[in-house]
Chains A and B, each alone.
Chain A
Amino acid sequence: MSKDVTLTIDGVKVTVPAGTLVVDAAKKAGIDIPIFCYHPKMEPAGMCRQCLVEIGRPAFDRATGEPVMENGKPKINWGWKLETSCTNPVSEGMEVKTKSEKALQGQNDMLEFQLTSHPLDCPVCDKGGECLLQDQTLAHGPGESRYRFDEKRHAEKHVPLGDKIWLDRERCIECGRCVRFQSELVGEAVLGFYNRGAHTEIITTSDPGFDSIFSGNTTDICPVGALTTTQFRFGARPWEMKSEASICAECPVGCNTMLNTRREAKSGGRIVVKRVMPRQNEAVNENWICDKGRFADLNVDNRLKMPNPAVWTEAIGAAAEKLNAAKAEAVYLVDGSLSNEELFNIKALADAVGAKAYCYSNVGGGALTTKSGSYGKSGAGDAILVVGTDLYTEAPLFWLRAKQAADRGATLIVATESETRLDAFATAVYRNVDEGLAAAKEAFGAAKNTVALYRGDDALAQACADLNPTSLVGVWEAANTQGAWEMGYEALADFSVLNGKTVYVAGGEALVAGAVDAAAVVIAQTAYETEATGKASVALASRVVAEMDGTFTSAERRAQRFFAAVPAIGEALPGYVITAQIAEKMGVSLNIDAEALFAAFSAMSYDDLATVNIEERLMIAGTCSANDQGVGALLPAKA
């Protein structure tokens, strides 16, 4: 445990662990020192000089080592010049003045310098309304410009860095956050500085440009509108959008997101999701989301808007009739794209009629992933095994956390047949899976907190389970496959099991297509309209994540809530309501309240998922949302 240090900032006494930076100590005391280049998750750079403050340290007699006293208090030696609070760690008895005349003058001066080469782009810049430079200018900017317009520097304004991010070189204030994020946090130094002095500019050093699946995060941490996304270009102003908390549905990590929505003219006046932003959850995704989740198209055109038959009562009736006819011979098939509540009701119906309930998954081992874990804080003394999966494409935030754990000293073993982007950060790399498992056995024996992440068949899952890790994580193909396993669904990878059966299938396009090809009678509960839904006997229009309340269980067995952000399209209903209505017609009584369903599944309430951590907000710098809705909760370990 580190010692605690007490110092005085603007007359306020604050006690923090030794090694804390002055700027962080001030944040804890509720004092905001203006910053640009500083980011709590990166090494301090001291580049922008915006956080200048007056720092005084107690004087000590050189000979005796005793503090020098003056008027009964320790004498304070004030530095002859202002110092940056982001590069100075606290020391005992330090005094800091952040708003004295000298300090304010220094902060104002630095801001004036920033503005001299910043273009007057606010009306056309996407960052307007959530721009740190705008906010600082209100607080510290000069009322009138002393700079001549014709001496202003000009630079390229519309530079593509890859196909997802635009760079505006004129707006860049050269704070280096993007470069440092990529090289320090992600370990893929695909951005860099070029030239020097007033002509410094950001370039991408990779081909294709900005080749990183975390590129979108730089648009969150960029304090100005220099880095913007092509997807959201000119989408809307931040104050025009509403926000709703959600969970990303692209992979089983379960990153916490915030959906920004607005009514849109080009969608015929519907309220749509304009963009996906990260929401802080230090245990899952910290402040980041990957590009798969950020740029996922949540407003697709091919939505199933009406059931088939077109009236709900008829559709429900038809479905119930067919399922009643099949009784226990019916097959209930889902995939991991459904929420816990939807899965629960389908399983309950299947159990009630004695029929089989399957979850489609090419990844085995569902019965073995029973221990919850979170290896986000792993470091020296811990071990991580990654086998059979290219985390970078399959679960990017798991990749990032494994890489950062390795940076902190954890033993990282990668055992995959082909090269992965994690190889460069691993302690040991094996192209032969068995050798990797053997090495992991040794490493796990010596480590405290261990986690094995795998993607493979049951045999591989068993081999990993045999290593007895603190947590076994299956890198599923969908967001909520873990939820299905928790409820007792059986795994299914081969559609031929459905031959000749009546199937109640609920899930995504590929699942419905597979079922329609193989089964005799298909009742398809899905959100998407495809050729397959046309062929199904009954098509039941369900809602997507953005349109309903519900929960997902991540691969680490963390249950997290998402909230309805946009109104349902057409007459789509939440899946669990559809199932309950069908069940009613079959004489089975099921709940339609999402909260009650969650409680039945997990023995927890939505309140349990709503704990927030106020302290962690100090780790955000940029447009990542603070988490007011809750960080979710780990499911208890299965007996």
Chain B
Amino acid sequence: MMKYMLLRHREIPNLNQIDVFLKEDGFEGFKKALKMDTNAVTDEVKAAGLRGRGGAGFPTGVKWSFMDKNNWPHYVVANADESEPGTFKDREIMESNPFQFLEGVAIASYAVGANVAYIYLRGEFWEVAHFLDEKIDEMEKAGFLGENIQGTDYSLKIYTHLGAGAYICGEETALLESIEGKRGQPRVRPPFPPSQGLYNKPTVVNNVETLSSVPYIIANGADRYREFGGTEKSPGTKIFSLSGRVKNPGNYELPLGSTFRELIFGEEYGGGIIDDKKIKAIMPAGASSSLIVADDKALDTPLTYEDVREVGGDLGSASVIVIDETVEMDWLITKTLSFFAHESCGKCTPCREGTYWMKAISERIHAGEATKADLELLHDVAKQVQGKTLCALGEFSTMAVVTSIERFPEDFEAKVYE
């Protein structure tokens, strides 16, 4: 059995060259899909249980089935914004295994009846975007894009679109606003993109990794996908972007259901903590995470969407940042809050004002100029922001703050005075 479904370029060199890709059963999934009924394609993805890899973990097949069939045209948008701190998986796919990703975009477009698909890349990925443009060209020349693909009456064009440096444009409705040329700020939901998305038409927005998982499902069937790895509720493999205080940071593809211990301490993977220090906490979803106390129970928790919740976290995009005893929590939250305050789009009051306020308090705490009351104030403000924001950015900005204060109180109490 292949070791890799997504990071196949680690086994097959030069997979980003079209002739190599074609030799390795390239576009088999797409060719098979073109012969299937569009609903059957969606059903296959539903049966496979593929969940969104961008962070929300929403069942992909179900999202495709929500597309409003009375409103045309349909669009597919690939979310390659990848701005979450600690996430660098999509970049590797787009640079080294682009055709599998593009094939996924094509299959998704076929399934929902879209003839135009967009890939939205963060502004800093301009080299990747130009590279993808070349690959799209090659794909079209190879007969898998353009008019009447492979002799059918299905046509598809894929375009890349660059953002301009905003984390908020990774939020799907802000992304759509950005493509439309407006300010990248989230929309009020409902309505959701599958009923009103790009230019108010039904749109599916999927993460790069999600779309890259689709070709295998169609080519080999939902059952084989489930056999590849994962659990009943979280099937398949996932790329974990491991970073932080580990010996070997990087992207690692493991089946869902592997444990934190395997990922962080495994010889082929993280290789353990730098200088063999003691592990303290894990942030499984990048800067937007709750901090999980890295005790044995947590380390042995399987990496699935449902199990990670048991230990007070969320798998999210699986950008696992490892914190050891040398990291102090008050310093850590100044970093995350600084990020969120900078990236807040400013549309809604609690996020715009709250992130700014929390950042100011956390900096005072870190500088040793705060009292115990300030610490309570920081916790209060974070709680005040939760549940009231327009989009998830505001919500996530509070996760690290609240969980670090609640679960690692010693770090803070050392810094505050009466």
A174 at the interface (CB under 8 A from B): yes
How far does the alpha carbon of A117 sit from the alpha carbon of B360 in the complex, in Å?
A: 13
**Contact of A114 with B388 in the complex, beta carbons under 8 Å:** no
**Contact of B352 with A174 in the complex, beta carbons under 8 Å:** yes
How far does the alpha carbon of A199 sit from the alpha carbon of B353 in the complex, in Å?
A: 10
Provided the pairs A47-B390, A49-B390, A81-B388 are in contact, do residues A197 and B342 lie with their beta carbons within 8 angstroms? yes
Chain B's closest residue to A43 (CB) is B188
Provided the pairs A151-B360, A198-B341 are in contact, do residues A113 and B349 lie with their beta carbons within 8 angstroms? yes
**Contact of B345 with A110 in the complex, beta carbons under 8 Å:** no
**Contact of B346 with A196 in the complex, beta carbons under 8 Å:** yes
**Contact of B389 with A198 in the complex, beta carbons under 8 Å:** no
Provided the pairs A47-B347, A117-B356 are in contact, do residues A81 and B387 lie with their beta carbons within 8 angstroms? yes
How far does the alpha carbon of A146 sit from the alpha carbon of B360 in the complex, in Å?
A: 13
- Mark interface residues in A82-125 (1 if CB within 8 Å of B CB, else 0): 10100100000000000000000010011011101100000000
**Chain A CB within 10 A, most for which of B348, B354, B360, B389:** B348
Which residues of chain A have C-beta atoms less than 8 A from B348's C-beta?
46-49
Which residues of chain B have C-beta atoms less than 8 A from A110's C-beta?
349-350, 388
B377 at the interface (CB under 8 A from A): yes
**Contact of A197 with B344 in the complex, beta carbons under 8 Å:** yes
B355 at the interface (CB under 8 A from A): yes
How far does the alpha carbon of A111 sit from the alpha carbon of B137 in the complex, in Å?
A: 53
**Contact of B377 with A112 in the complex, beta carbons under 8 Å:** no
Chain B's closest residue to A200 (CB) is B346
How far does the alpha carbon of A249 sit from the alpha carbon of B360 in the complex, in Å?
A: 54
**Contact of B166 with A196 in the complex, beta carbons under 8 Å:** yes
**Contact of B343 with A109 in the complex, beta carbons under 8 Å:** no
A266 at the interface (CB under 8 A from B): no
B148 at the interface (CB under 8 A from A): no
Question: Interface size bucket, A side?
Answer: 35 or more
Which residues of chain B have C-beta atoms less than 8 A from A80's C-beta?
387
**Contact of A153 with B384 in the complex, beta carbons under 8 Å:** no
Within 8 A of A (CB), among B363-381: 377
Which residues of chain A have C-beta atoms less than 8 A from B349's C-beta?
47-50, 110, 113-114, 173-174
How distant is B187 from chain A, measured CB to nearest CB, in Å? 9
How distant is A108 from chain B, measured CB to nearest CB, in Å? 9
Chain B's closest residue to A113 (CB) is B353
How distant is B377 from chain A, measured CB to nearest CB, in Å? 6
- Mark interface residues in B328-354 (1 if CB within 8 Å of A CB, else 0): 000000000000011111111110111
Other-chain residue from B183, B188, B344, B384 in contact with A198 (beta carbon distance below 8 A): B344
Chain B's closest residue to A107 (CB) is B388
B357 at the interface (CB under 8 A from A): yes
**Contact of A200 with B388 in the complex, beta carbons under 8 Å:** no
How far does the alpha carbon of A320 sit from the alpha carbon of B355 in the complex, in Å?
A: 78
How distant is A412 from chain B, measured CB to nearest CB, in Å? 23
How distant is A50 from chain B, measured CB to nearest CB, in Å? 7
Within 8 A of A (CB), among B192-247: none
Which residues of chain A have C-beta atoms less than 8 A from B341's C-beta?
197-198
How far does the alpha carbon of A619 sit from the alpha carbon of B298 in the complex, in Å?
A: 56
How distant is B200 from chain A, measured CB to nearest CB, in Å? 13
How far does the alpha carbon of A52 sit from the alpha carbon of B387 in the complex, in Å?
A: 10
Within 8 A of B (CB), among A137-157: 146-148, 151, 153
A45 at the interface (CB under 8 A from B): yes
Chain B residues with a Cβ closer than 8 Å to the other chain, count: 27
How far does the alpha carbon of A82 sit from the alpha carbon of B348 in the complex, in Å?
A: 14
Chain A's closest residue to B356 (CB) is A198
**Contact of A109 with B353 in the complex, beta carbons under 8 Å:** no
How distant is A603 from chain B, measured CB to nearest CB, in Å? 51
How far does the alpha carbon of A110 sit from the alpha carbon of B387 in the complex, in Å?
A: 12
**Contact of A147 with B357 in the complex, beta carbons under 8 Å:** yes
Provided the pairs A49-B389, A49-B390 are in contact, do residues A148 and B360 lie with their beta carbons within 8 angstroms? yes
How far does the alpha carbon of A193 sit from the alpha carbon of B347 in the complex, in Å?
A: 10
**Contact of A197 with B384 in the complex, beta carbons under 8 Å:** no
How far does the alpha carbon of A84 sit from the alpha carbon of B344 in the complex, in Å?
A: 20
Chain A's closest residue to B166 (CB) is A196
Other-chain residue from B356, B360, B387 in contact with A197 (beta carbon distance below 8 A): B356
**Chain A CB within 10 A, most for which of B183, B342, B353, B390:** B353
How far does the alpha carbon of A114 sit from the alpha carbon of B360 in the complex, in Å?
A: 16
How distant is B397 from chain A, measured CB to nearest CB, in Å? 11
**Contact of A193 with B384 in the complex, beta carbons under 8 Å:** no
Which residues of chain A have C-beta atoms less than 8 A from B342's C-beta?
197
Within 8 A of A (CB), among B272-306: none
How far does the alpha carbon of A189 sit from the alpha carbon of B390 in the complex, in Å?
A: 24
A44 at the interface (CB under 8 A from B): yes
How distant is A289 from chain B, measured CB to nearest CB, in Å? 30
Other-chain residue from A82, A151, A173, A193 in contact with B388 (beta carbon distance below 8 A): A82
Which residues of chain B have C-beta atoms less than 8 A from A48's C-beta?
348-349
Chain A's closest residue to B344 (CB) is A197
Which residues of chain B have C-beta atoms less than 8 A from A44's C-beta?
188
How far does the alpha carbon of A50 sit from the alpha carbon of B350 in the complex, in Å?
A: 10
How distant is A631 from chain B, measured CB to nearest CB, in Å? 34
**Contact of A198 with B353 in the complex, beta carbons under 8 Å:** yes
Chain B's closest residue to A44 (CB) is B188
Which residues of chain A have C-beta atoms less than 8 A from B377's C-beta?
146
**Chain B CB within 10 A, most for which of A50, A195, A197, A200:** A197
How far does the alpha carbon of A44 sit from the alpha carbon of B377 in the complex, in Å?
A: 32
How distant is B296 from chain A, measured CB to nearest CB, in Å? 32
How far does the alpha carbon of A540 sit from the alpha carbon of B239 in the complex, in Å?
A: 91
How far does the alpha carbon of A50 sit from the alpha carbon of B388 in the complex, in Å?
A: 9
How far does the alpha carbon of A420 sit from the alpha carbon of B183 in the complex, in Å?
A: 29
Other-chain residue from A52, A87, A198 in contact with B352 (beta carbon distance below 8 A): A198
Which residues of chain B have C-beta atoms less than 8 A from A146's C-beta?
377
**Contact of B346 with A174 in the complex, beta carbons under 8 Å:** yes
Chain B's closest residue to A36 (CB) is B349
**Contact of A112 with B389 in the complex, beta carbons under 8 Å:** no
**Contact of B345 with A196 in the complex, beta carbons under 8 Å:** yes
Chain A's closest residue to B183 (CB) is A193
How distant is B290 from chain A, measured CB to nearest CB, in Å? 17
**Contact of B188 with A45 in the complex, beta carbons under 8 Å:** yes
How far does the alpha carbon of A49 sit from the alpha carbon of B349 in the complex, in Å?
A: 7
How distant is A372 from chain B, measured CB to nearest CB, in Å? 39
**Contact of B347 with A198 in the complex, beta carbons under 8 Å:** no
Which residues of chain B have C-beta atoms less than 8 A from A52's C-beta?
388
Chain A's closest residue to B395 (CB) is A81
Other-chain residue from A46, A193, A195 in contact with B188 (beta carbon distance below 8 A): A46
Other-chain residue from A45, A47, A116, A193 in contact with B353 (beta carbon distance below 8 A): A116
**Chain B CB within 10 A, most for which of A45, A87, A198, A199:** A198
How far does the alpha carbon of A323 sit from the alpha carbon of B345 in the complex, in Å?
A: 74
**Contact of A87 with B188 in the complex, beta carbons under 8 Å:** yes
How distant is B324 from chain A, measured CB to nearest CB, in Å? 31
How far does the alpha carbon of A146 sit from the alpha carbon of B168 in the complex, in Å?
A: 29
How distant is A103 from chain B, measured CB to nearest CB, in Å? 11
How far does the alpha carbon of A50 sit from the alpha carbon of B353 in the complex, in Å?
A: 13
**Contact of B388 with A153 in the complex, beta carbons under 8 Å:** no
**Contact of A153 with B356 in the complex, beta carbons under 8 Å:** yes
Which residues of chain B have C-beta atoms less than 8 A from A45's C-beta?
188
Chain A's closest residue to B345 (CB) is A196
Which residues of chain B have C-beta atoms less than 8 A from A153's C-beta?
356
Which residues of chain B have C-beta atoms less than 8 A from A47's C-beta?
347-349, 390
Which residues of chain B have C-beta atoms less than 8 A from A197's C-beta?
341-346, 352, 355-356
Provided the pairs A44-B188, A82-B388 are in contact, do residues A196 and B344 lie with their beta carbons within 8 angstroms? yes
Which residues of chain A have C-beta atoms less than 8 A from B384's C-beta?
109, 112-113
Which residues of chain A have C-beta atoms less than 8 A from B355's C-beta?
197-198
Which residues of chain B have C-beta atoms less than 8 A from A193's C-beta?
183, 346
Chain B's closest residue to A81 (CB) is B387
How distant is A593 from chain B, measured CB to nearest CB, in Å? 56
Which residues of chain A have C-beta atoms less than 8 A from B343's C-beta?
196-197
Residues of chain A whose beta carbon lies under 8 Å from any beta carbon of chain B: 44-50, 52, 80-82, 84, 87, 106, 109-110, 112-114, 116-117, 146-148, 151, 153, 173-174, 193, 195-200
10 additional A-B pairs beyond A174-B349, A196-B344, beta carbons within 8 Å, are A44-B188, A50-B349, A82-B388, A106-B388, A112-B384, A113-B350, A146-B377, A196-B168, A196-B346, A198-B341
9 contacts between A and B (CB under 8 A): A49-B389, A81-B388, A113-B357, A148-B360, A195-B346, A196-B344, A197-B352, A198-B353, A200-B352
